[in-house]
Amino acid sequence: MEQPASHPFQQNPMEEEEIDLKEILFKYLRYWKVIAFCAFIGFFLAFAFNQLVTPVYKVQSSVIIKDEDSGMLGSGLFEQAGLNVPKNNVENEMGILTSFSLVYEALEKLNLNVTYSRDGFFGPEEIYLTSPLLVEVDWQHPQIIYGSFAVENLGDGQFELSIEEDEFLLFSPKDPNFKTRIENVEIEEGIYSFDELLTGTSFKFSISNISMDKGEKVYFNLKDTGALTNEFRSSLEVSPLNRTSTVLNLEIELNNRRKGENFLNQLMEDYLARELNEKNRTATNTINFIEGQLSGISDSLSFIEDRLENYRSANSVFNLTEEGTLIFQRLAELEEQKAQMDLSLSYYRSMATYLGEEELNDLVAPSFIGIQDPLLNALVISLAELQSEKVRLTASFSDETPAVREVNSKIKNTQNALSENLRNAISNAETKLSELNDRIRQVEREINRLPSTERNLLGIQRQFTINENIYVYLLEKRAEAEITRASNYPSNNILDAARSASVPVFPRKNINYLIGILFGIILPVGFITLRDLFNTKIRDPHEVEKKLRVPLIGLIGYSTAKTNLVVHSNPKSVITEAFRNLRANMSYLSMGKNKLMIGLSSSISGEGKTFCSINLAAVYALSGKKVLLVGLDLRKPRIADDFDLSNDRGVSTYLKSETDWKPLVHQEVKENLDILLSGPIPPNPAELMLQDRFSYLMEEIREAYDIVILDCPPVGLVSETLEIFKYSQINLMILRQEFSEKSACDYINSLQEQNGVKKLYAVMNGVVNKSNYGGYGKYGYGGGYGYGSKGYGYHEEMPSRAWWRKWLPISV
């Protein structure tokens, strides 16, 4: 079976889908200049932001933590006692590196309390290590901090001091953690001399000229070390390389790369120095203990040495007899054992005193004194390491933290075990000392049998030998402790010195440029999208074509002429050409018909149906057709005003009386154009049009004229228009851009589907700027031979509405 020919205005579903894609593209591309301008503005703002904001650089370094055994003697015995041997802990080391005390110590050495800056091209620029002036502050005196001062060199050793920012706080060395706001700054702006001490109740500092030129201006502000510590700690990050690694990465973000590098390097140096000090503490305590013992023995040794020399000289006795020598050797051995036992007992008692007074930092390991007690040695070393671990933890955590409480519990258990061990050691030492004294007394009884001269010499030499042996023994132990202290080195090491990236982490210039451009694009695109989303008026012919289920056969441009008779007043205008194209399009809709009746209406008043009726009738008249324009809007007639006619007779006159309609027609108002006005406004227009005379009128004028144009009332407001549409061969519904509601398309669809109106088509009136809609050649708007070309006579451009109306979120 042969397929019927497609209608020239029939919509193809595939074509409609393609048009939808074009619609999305054209909707935004027609504003490409605005979008490009906004993108440029976004790029410019990103550039300005990148230049004005102070760059922040990331500085990195790393240390390696050696998680090694404590290395104490008798660790196996200590573990058998039920106590764990403490080891270095990565998390504890992280706490130490970020502790307030360590950061505070590093900042104090760097002397960063005074910040200098000068005016730069894009704002103030910090001066670090190259400041042309030096501000020396007495931090033992109350000081005003924060705020900002300006110093301008006036020459001749003088400068002008001014306050740039007066948001000052008062720092007091008596309570450094509490700062109060100070409203009235005591220091006065004015001229001062370099190196002059500026002092008051809230400040004390001096300013020295290092290399400042005359007229140069430098700014400075003050911050106490505690406030600096909080600032640096907040930006300092310490993290392990991975979950199982003992390599710690240190990172800090500052606006000065050199300052960040110096800070991290100083922090790591102080960290290693702190660890070394902890390792040397045992050796130092041992040396202090030995030196305390040596001070008394040294005096006794000197006294006895002088006494021995004097006795030998006075009695001419220099050597003992063979019997005396044997007795002396036995006695010397016992005295040496007693001296060592006295030293051990003194050590045990001093250790017990330290434990009782909680002076755990002064503990000395027994092995350093020469006491070979593995368990006691393990307990002392473990207690020292537990105490160090507690110091590390309390630097970052409170006493209520589970880790600190666990360490305190271990310390308490170790103290108890050590105290019990010391009591046993003291008891054993006292027993051995008593046995040694008994044996010495037995030897002394043998000495009494010697001659008195030899006996006295043996007694003096005995005292000298005892003190000499103890003195030499203590000197050896002190040398061993000093060697141990000198050979100590930190277990942890600096893996990488601080280094900064050449590209700042803030601002990220390329990302900011991208964000600026994207924001410049998204802003107008989003605005256009929101405008269309909230707009209830018809704007786009594509949208009308998509919503309508009746063909859209023409677009009429927006007229700025003072008269509605555009076709007659300007026959070469764009609007006239649009009506010609509409006339041509309707010739396809009325194939084979010599006479044609066309009805024009709209959903509401103001959409331009009368304007279209007049000009459509005029364009048919220009083609040589005999045309009658009939005004059927009996409620609100307007045709008479446009033609300067009197509306005293017309259709209402014919319907209310028995007169003929022909005398009521205004003949040849324009060439080939007659007009039958609506006449005086009747009280019952709907009922008049239901009369048989109205049907007779329609039949008569159809036979009398080639083209009849019916200017009907708005079909959405009155009911009689549907009756009029029954007589016309083509019915046109007029829509107006940015005036008609989108719901008007649904109403037009219902006229065909529910009310059965035949031959129903739509025309869009008041279209602005044909370029906005990509050309509608098939509707006679924006296409056609010679249209828009000066060379063919149609060079009039359609006026665009005010730019601000295009950008409103809803039509006005």
Query: For the residues of 634-664, what is the DSSP string, one character each?
Result: SSS--HHHHTT---SSSHHHHHHSS--SGGG
d(CA 201, CA 138) in angstroms, rounded, equals 12
pLDDT value at 42 more than 60: yes
132 in Cβ contact with 212 (< 8 Å): yes
Query: What pLDDT shows up at residue 450?
Result: 54
Could you tell me which residues come within 8 angstroms of residue 557 by beta carbon, excluding any fewer than 6 positions away? Answer: 574, 575, 578, 766, 767, 768, 770, 781, 798
% the chain with pLDDT above 90: 11
**CB burial of residue 736 (10 Å; 0-12, 13-18, 19+):** buried
Greater pLDDT, 606 or 420: 606
The answer to which of 126-140, 476-490, 632-646 has the lowest mean pLDDT is: 476-490
pLDDT at 360: 56
Tokens at residue 748, please? 């037009």
Q: What is the mean pLDDT of residues 50-67?
A: 84
The answer to whether residue 480 scores a pLDDT higher than 70 is: yes
* pLDDT value at 127 more than 80: yes
Phi, psi (rounded to 5 degrees) for 18: -65, -40
What DSSP element (H or E) covers 411?
A: helix 402-447
When mean pLDDT is compared across 219-223, 238-242, 380-384, 698-702, the lowest value belongs to: 380-384
Contact 253, 57 (CB under 8 A): yes
- 8-state DSSP, 795: -
Rounded mean pLDDT of the chain? 77
Please tell me the pTM assigned to this model: 0.55
- Highest mean pLDDT out of 327-336, 342-351, 441-450: 342-351
Token digits of residue 554: 């023409």
pLDDT at 626: 92
Report phi then psi at 557, rounded to 5.
-70, 165
φ, ψ of residue 578 in degrees (nearest 5): -65, -40
Lowest mean pLDDT among 322-331, 395-404, 545-554, 745-754: 322-331
Average pLDDT over residues 52-75: 70
Judge whether residue 307 has pLDDT over 70: no
Predicted confidence band of residue 454 (pLDDT cuts 50, 70, 90): low
**319: Cα within 13 Å, side-chain hemisphere:** 4
Q: What is the mean pLDDT of residues 624-635?
A: 89
Q: Write phi, then psi, for 128 (nearest 5 degrees).
A: -125, 125
Contacts of 502 (CB under 8 A, 6+ apart): none
Is pLDDT above 90 for 151?
yes
Report pLDDT digits (tens) over 550-601. 888 889 888 888 888 888 888 888 888 899 988 888 888 877 778 899 999 8
Q: Looking at 4-13, 96-105, 433-442, 698-707, which range is the least confident one? A: 4-13
What is the predicted pLDDT for the residue at 299? 67
Q: How far apart are CA 605 and CA 713, in angstroms?
A: 8
Q: Is the pLDDT of residue 74 over 60?
A: no
Whether the predicted pLDDT of 184 surpasses 70? yes
pLDDT at 182 over 50: yes
Confidence of residue 12 (pLDDT cuts 50, 70, 90): very low
What are the pLDDT digits (tens) for 776-792? 444 444 433 333 333 33
Please give the residue that has the higher pLDDT: either 474 or 619: 619
- Asked which of 195-199, 497-501, 625-629 is least confident by mean pLDDT, the reply is 497-501
More reliable by pLDDT, 451 or 473:
473
Give the tens place of pLDDT for each residue, 649-659.
888 888 888 78
> What's the pLDDT at 85?
40
DSSP H or E run through 470: helix 452-487
- What does the pLDDT read at residue 449? 53
> Would the pLDDT of 774 be above 50?
no
In this structure, are residues 794 and 788 in contact, taking their beta carbons and an 8 Å threshold? yes
Residue 56: pLDDT over 80: yes
pLDDT interval class at 6 (50, 70, 90):
very low
pLDDT in tens, 220-231: 999 998 889 988
Confidence of residue 611 (pLDDT cuts 50, 70, 90): very high
Question: Span 24-53, mean pLDDT?
Answer: 86
